[in-house]
């Protein structure tokens, strides 16, 4: 009887285990995207993107980054790879504190999934960008 139950459950486990694994490591649905993908998403959602340029991720110890110019003001978008325990821990701390530090000076940030957005506080379209960021999954 046990063997029959095991054989019946095995295909179900094979399907559900990978999905459970994704949730188990704290992964975000948007972990597969790049910062430039967020720029494309902003554009598709009706926010006029004036320019996009790559930024070095090292100052924030992220995986990748870019600057997106919206309404004459740049925001920094940095991606943290949540499959890395170190990156996930760093992003969780930033999300909890809602700020990051540059030379010891705190700056407010927004976090959604695997992404940290820097410089929103001074952007004239902050509300629109935040609306789109919350949907970026």
Res 53 pLDDT > 80: yes
What values do phi and psi take at 118, rounded to 5?
Answer: -115, 140
pTM above 0.75, yes or no: yes
pLDDT digits (tens, 9 = 90+) for 1-13: 445 544 544 443 3
Beta strand 73-79 with 99-102: parallel, antiparallel or unpaired?
A: unpaired
pLDDT band at 137 (very low <50, low <70, confident <90, very high): confident
pLDDT digits (tens, 9 = 90+) for 64-103: 999 999 999 999 999 999 999 999 999 999 999 999 998 8
The pLDDT score that the predictor gives to residue 102 is 87
- Collapsed DSSP state (helix, strand, coil) of residue 54: strand
Tokens of 82: 């949540």
The pLDDT score that the predictor gives to residue 22 is 38
pLDDT digits (tens, 9 = 90+) for 97-135: 999 998 899 999 999 999 999 999 999 999 999 999 999
| 3-class DSSP string for 65-115 | EEEEEECCEEEEEEECCCCCHHHHHHHHHHHHHCEEEECCEEEEEEEECCE
The 10 Å Cβ neighbour count of residue 79 is: 26
What values do phi and psi take at 102, rounded to 5?
Answer: -125, 120
């Amino acid at each position: 009887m046990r063997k029959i139950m095991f054989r019946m459950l095995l295909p179900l486990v094979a399907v559900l285990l990978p999905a459970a694994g994704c949730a188990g490591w704290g992964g975000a649905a948007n972990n597969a995207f790049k910062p430039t993908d967020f720029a494309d998403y902003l554009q598709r959602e009706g926010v006029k993107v004036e320019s996009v340029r790559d930024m070095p991720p090292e100052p924030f110890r992220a995986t990748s980054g870019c600057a997106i110019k919206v309404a004459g003001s740049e925001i920094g978008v940095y991606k943290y790879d949540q499959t890395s325990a170190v990156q996930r821990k760093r992003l969780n701390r930033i999300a909890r504190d809602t700020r990051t530090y540059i030379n010891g000076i705190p700056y407010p940030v927004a976090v959604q999934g695997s992404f940290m957005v820097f410089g929103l506080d001074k952007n004239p379209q902050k509300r629109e960008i935040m609306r789109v960021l919350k949907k970026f999954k």
